[in-house]
C-alpha cells in the first residue's frame, strides 16, 4: 500500500488518524509540527500528506508553502483535516491546491476512501 504522512499537532488525534490509516494497510509516518513534517517529507517520501492546516503560528500554511516550493514534492496530494471551516481556512487550502478538505472529526471511512482515491494502484 501507500506511504502516508500525518502532520498534526494534537498527539491523540494524530494517533487516531494513524491507526485508521494503518488498519487500511498503509505505512504511516507522523510529525507533530511543520518543521518535523518537512524532514519526514524528505526521508519518508509519502504518496499523500494528511495535514492539520491550523497549527500554531500559521504552521500548516507555512508547511504547504515549503512543500509546494520543492520541485520533487510539489505534486504530492494533501488532505486537510481541520477544526476550522472558515472562509479564510478554505481560501488557504484552495490557494495551495489541496486535494481534499475535511472537518474534524473526520470519519475514518472518509479519510481512507480519500487516500485510496489519491494513491495509484
DSSP string for 79-121: EEEES---HHHHHHHHHTT-SEEEESSPPHHHHHHHHHHHS--
What does each of the 121 residues of the chain score in pLDDT, given as a tens digit?
A: 899 999 999 999 999 999 999 999 999 999 999 999 999 999 999 999 999 998 876 688 899 999 999 898 889 999 999 999 899 999 999 999 999 999 998 999 999 999 999 997 6
Predicted confidence at residue 54, as pLDDT, reads: 86
> What's the N-to-C CA distance of the chain in angstroms?
8
Take residue 92 and report the three cell numbers written for it.
Answer: 488557504
Do 110 and 117 meet the contact criterion of CB atoms below 8 Å apart? no
Looking only at Cα atoms, what is the longest distance across the chain?
A: 37
Domain chopping of the chain, boundaries: 3-118
Q: In the CATH hierarchy, which top-level class contains the domain 3-118?
A: alpha beta
Half-sphere exposure for 7 (CA within 13 Å, toward CB) = 30
Task: Kindly state the cell numbers that stand for 4.
Answer: 502516508
Cα–Cα distance, 89 to 43 (Å, whole number): 28
Q: Output the pLDDT for position 1.
A: 86
Amino acid at each position: 500500500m501507500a506511504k502516508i504522512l500525518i502532520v498534526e499537532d494534537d498527539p491523540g488525534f494524530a494517533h487516531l488518524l494513524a491507526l485508521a490509516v494503518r488498519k487500511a494497510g498503509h505505512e504511516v509516518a507522523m510529525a507533530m509540527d511543520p518543521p518535523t513534517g518537512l524532514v519526514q517529507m524528505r526521508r519518508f517520501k509519502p504518496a499523500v500528506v494528511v495535514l492539520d492546516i491550523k497549527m500554531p503560528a500559521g504552521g500548516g500554511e507555512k508547511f504547504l508553502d515549503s512543500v509546494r516550493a520543492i520541485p520533487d514534492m510539489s505534486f504530492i496530494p494533501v488532505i486537510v483535516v481541520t477544526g476550522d471551516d472558515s472562509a479564510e481556512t478554505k481560501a488557504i487550502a484552495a490557494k495551495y491546491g489541496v486535494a481534499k478538505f475535511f472537518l474534524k472529526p473526520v470519519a475514518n471511512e472518509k479519510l481512507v476512501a480519500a487516500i485510496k482515491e489519491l494513491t495509484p494502484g
